[in-house]
Amino acid sequence: MKKIRFLVVPILVLLFASSCTSVRVLSDYDKEANFNSFKTYAFYKTGIDKAQISDLDKKRILHAIDDEMSSRGFVKSENPDILLSIFTKEKQQVDVYNNYWGAGYYGWGWSPFYWGSPYYGGNNVSTRTEGSLYIDIIDAKNKELVWQGRGIGTLNNIRNMEKKEARIKEFVSEILEAYPPGTVVN
């Protein structure tokens, strides 16, 4: 029994840690754009108004973007070089875990001929909402998309507002870490 605990505890820790993964980030950009010429920014209100999230979460995201952009030396301006817009998507993820481990007729382990015992685990099903936050950077002069970052992850129904705000900041920071393209982050 101690051997099983010795194996089960690390496996459970790994499963728990993988369920709390960070933000997965993808980005794409226009190779023709001169990213070094962009120094000022503003928000693209038309695009932001279309984002299908609460106004409070929009404020949290925009505030996090402001903080991130200013930490990178960008200045908010009435006559910007780039416009920033956001949009979101979400989808329901269903996870099914088959638990066929236990003491059966063939000893400890898995068996396709398992006919049941007190250790039979059955199936566990869980659902979670996975969301994507897109940050678009648009050349203000010609109104063309020059960079797009996408962060994929969960907010896990966070009720604590400080934790929710920290998670949103993490999303924005990880997405904008890929901007501008071609830079090496140490």
C-beta of residue 133 within 8 angstroms of C-beta of residue 173 = no
pLDDT tens readout for residues 85-109: 999 887 666 667 666 555 545 555 5
- Band of residue 13 on the pLDDT scale cut at 50, 70, 90: very low
pTM: 0.70
pLDDT tens readout for residues 72-89: 999 999 999 999 999 988
pLDDT tens readout for residues 120-149: 556 777 666 678 899 999 999 999 999 999
Phi-psi region of 51 (alpha: psi -120 to 50; beta: other; left: phi over 0): beta
